């Protein structure tokens, strides 16, 4: 009886050992098959927008559109330049008006300089108070437009990153032909174009 039990245990152990070898070979073949598969990069539109919101241009880098970086930074730099010039001119005009309206007569002789976009300075201290208020409103309006322009360019970079991520794996083949195919369904037929 011991001999039969020992023989059955050996036979069972033998089948388990061969099964492990077979599964090891199958796993090895599966791992080779997985290693050969091509990984396709597919950027996330949400990730592109978040990256672009954190750092301007990072969304374009994430979607691998590197050629857009000079355009992004040129547009943002130009808008930032106009913000700086209009802010400086607005502050100078505001300071000049406050100097002129205070009771200290020694401030009346200080020149009121305003610069344009070419950094040329103009003395506007000989103008009337009403004209100075108009100049101040002009620079304030230009400052507001410059900030709106900067925000619009920034939002445009985010929209561009989102669209680039959506269309990253878009099929752009030269084959523009349509091939209609009729396939039966449970109710009737369906017309499909591919």
pLDDT digits (tens, 9 = 90+) for 58-81: 999 999 999 999 999 999 999 999
In a domain, 92, yes or no: yes
Q: Does residue 63 lie within any of the structural domains?
A: yes
Residue 14 within any structural domain of the chain: no
Please report whether residue 84 resides in a domain: yes
pTM of the model: 0.64
Cα separation of 79 and 154, whole Å?
10
CA dist 158 and 64 (Å) reads: 14
8-43 confidence digits (pLDDT tens): 555 565 555 555 555 555 555 555 555 566 777 888
Is residue 192 a part of any domain in this protein?
A: no
Q: 190: part of which helix (H) or strand (E)?
A: strand 189-193
Q: Is residue 101 part of a domain?
A: yes
The boundaries of the domain holding residue 63 are 56-166
Count of domains observed in the chain: 1
Question: Is position 77 within any domain?
Answer: yes
Whether 177 is covered by a domain: the verdict is no
| Measured distance CA(193)–CA(178) in Å, rounded | 6
Rounded to an integer, the average pLDDT of 157-182 is 82
């Amino acid at each position: 009886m011991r001999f039969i039990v020992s023989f059955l245990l050996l036979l069972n152990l033998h089948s388990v050992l061969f099964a492990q070898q077979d599964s090891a070979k199958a796993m090895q073949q599966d791992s080779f098959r997985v290693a050969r598969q091509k990984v396709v990069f597919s950027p996330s539109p949400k990730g592109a927008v978040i990256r672009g919101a954190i750092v301007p241009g990072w969304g374009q880098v994430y979607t691998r559109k590197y050629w857009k970086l000079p355009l992004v930074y040129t547009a943002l730099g130009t808008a930032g330049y106009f913000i700086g010039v209009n802010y400086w001119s607005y502050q100078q005009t505001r300071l000049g008006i406050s100097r002129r309206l205070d009771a200290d007569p020694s401030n009346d002789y200080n020149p009121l300089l305003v610069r344009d976009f070419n950094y040329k300075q103009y003395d506007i201290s000989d103008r009337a108070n009403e004209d100075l208020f108009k100049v101040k409103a002009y620079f304030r309006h230009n400052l507001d437009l410059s900030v709106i322009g900067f925000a619009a360019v920034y939002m445009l970079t985010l929209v561009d990153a989102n669209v680039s991520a959506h269309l990253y794996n878009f099929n752009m083949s030269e084959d523009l032909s349509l091939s209609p195919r009729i396939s039966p369904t449970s109710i009737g037929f369906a017309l499909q174009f591919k």
